Amino acid sequence: MSQAAVKEQTLPRAKQNKKPRWQRMGFFGYASLIIVAFLSLFPFYWMFIVASNGTDEISKIPPTLVPGPRFFTVISNVYEALPQFNQALLNTVYVGTVVAVAQVFFSAIAGFAFAKLNFKGQKFMVLFVILTMMLPSQLGIIPLFILISQMGLMDSLGALIIPALVTAFGVFWMRQVIDAQVPNELLEAASIDGAGVFRAYWSIVLPIIAQSSFVLGLFSFLATWNDFLWPLLVLNTPENFTAQVAVNQLKSSYAIDYALNMGGAFLSTAPLLVLFIFVGRRLVRGVMDGAVKG
């Protein structure tokens, strides 16, 4: 670190407009980015290739790398094997949305309290929240199953929603966001003007954290969409399946049909990719904001 410290002292003297050498963008820079972009997208492309060609075709040497004519056949096979596939996608959207909204709501009010309010045990509670984030959630999966079943929620979407309404991570995240983004002065000014806690939260905190809430909601939505172990455990009826359970269902036949599997994987992923086209930039900003916050 001493290197940097030394440089820091020489700071003020450099003020040039000419772009320094290090900033030139070389061939290797672009090449590496393009390769990584290619590798990032390739598995999705491959799903489509296999789903549109069939396993035999892609196992040739050299393998087929262009889409084939069978895509719609494979997709209709998916719907034949599991007519409820669309229902599964809808269920996932429903569960994901409810969970996202609930998590944002509960996390925001708790995060606000932890960040800006002074109440007894506050310090201990925050520590508690942080500590619980370290516990592996898999540890409690069996008792949770028994609990959910005793509540009569087995084989219903409620079994996915109820345990996911709050997370320690969401609360901590929101606490950090509110701490960093909402200036105390604003709240003080509001309370001098006679605003109570509710008013202050509603008219000052909420508008400021709207962007970050959206990002938290997106991450909750994605996590819910992609969860598979718990839904697999609690759902029995195909009409109640989520996208991941549906994909797993296709995978669990004797006759492993890779085209069918990939077709299912593609169908379960495509909605996310479409969503990503609209919110991708915001997600990127969310990840990066989170990284530098504070």
Backbone φ and ψ for 193, nearest 5 degrees, come out as -75, 0
Alpha-carbon radius of gyration of the chain: 25
Out of 113, 157, 160, 209, the only residue in the binding site for another protein (CB under 8 A) is 113
Nearer to another protein, 6 or 69 (CB): 6
Out of 44, 79, 94, 214, the only residue in the binding site for another protein (CB under 8 A) is 44
Binding of residue 8 to another protein (CB under 8 A): yes
- Shortest spacing between CB 41 and another protein, in angstroms: 7
Nearer to another protein, 140 or 210 (CB): 140
- Shortest spacing between CB 84 and another protein, in angstroms: 9
Size of the site for another protein (CB under 8 A): 152
Q: Is 69 helix (H, G, I), strand (E, B) or coil?
A: coil
Binding of residue 110 to another protein (CB under 8 A): yes
Binding of residue 71 to another protein (CB under 8 A): no
Kind and range of the H or E run holding 30: helix 27-53
Per CB under 8 A, the segment of 14-22, 69-77, 93-101 that binds another protein is 14-22
Site string for another protein, 253-282 (x = CB under 8 A): xxxxxx--xx--xx-xx--xx--x---xx-
Out of 180, 181, 206, 211, the only residue in the binding site for another protein (CB under 8 A) is 180
Binding of residue 290 to another protein (CB under 8 A): yes
In 10 A of CB 97, how many CB atoms? 14
Q: Minimal CA–CA distance to 235: which of 220, 223, 221, 246? A: 246
What's the rounded Cα separation, in Å, for the pair 190 and 292?
Answer: 28
Binding of residue 192 to another protein (CB under 8 A): yes
- Shortest spacing between CB 114 and another protein, in angstroms: 7
Q: Minimal CA–CA distance to 227: which of 163, 150, 291? A: 163
Binding of residue 294 to another protein (CB under 8 A): yes
| Cα–chain center distance at 41 | 18
* 183 preceded by a cis bond (ω within 30 of 0): no
Nearer to another protein, 72 or 80 (CB): 80
Site of tokens 């290090």:
22
- Shortest spacing between CB 21 and another protein, in angstroms: 7
Residues 120-159, interacting with another protein (CB under 8 A): 120-123, 125-127, 130, 132-147, 149-150, 152, 154-155
- By the 8 A CB rule, do 71 and 50 touch? no
DSSP 204-240: IIHHHHHHHHHHHHHHHHHHHHH--HHHHHH--SGGG
Angle between helices 71-81 and 258-292 (to 10 degrees): 90
Binding of residue 14 to another protein (CB under 8 A): yes
- Shortest spacing between CB 153 and another protein, in angstroms: 9
Binding of residue 107 to another protein (CB under 8 A): yes
Residues 202-241, interacting with another protein (CB under 8 A): 219, 222, 225-226, 228-229, 232-241
User: Six-digit token pair at 236?
Assistant: 């029995």
Please, what's the largest Cα pairwise distance for the chain?
76
Binding of residue 161 to another protein (CB under 8 A): no
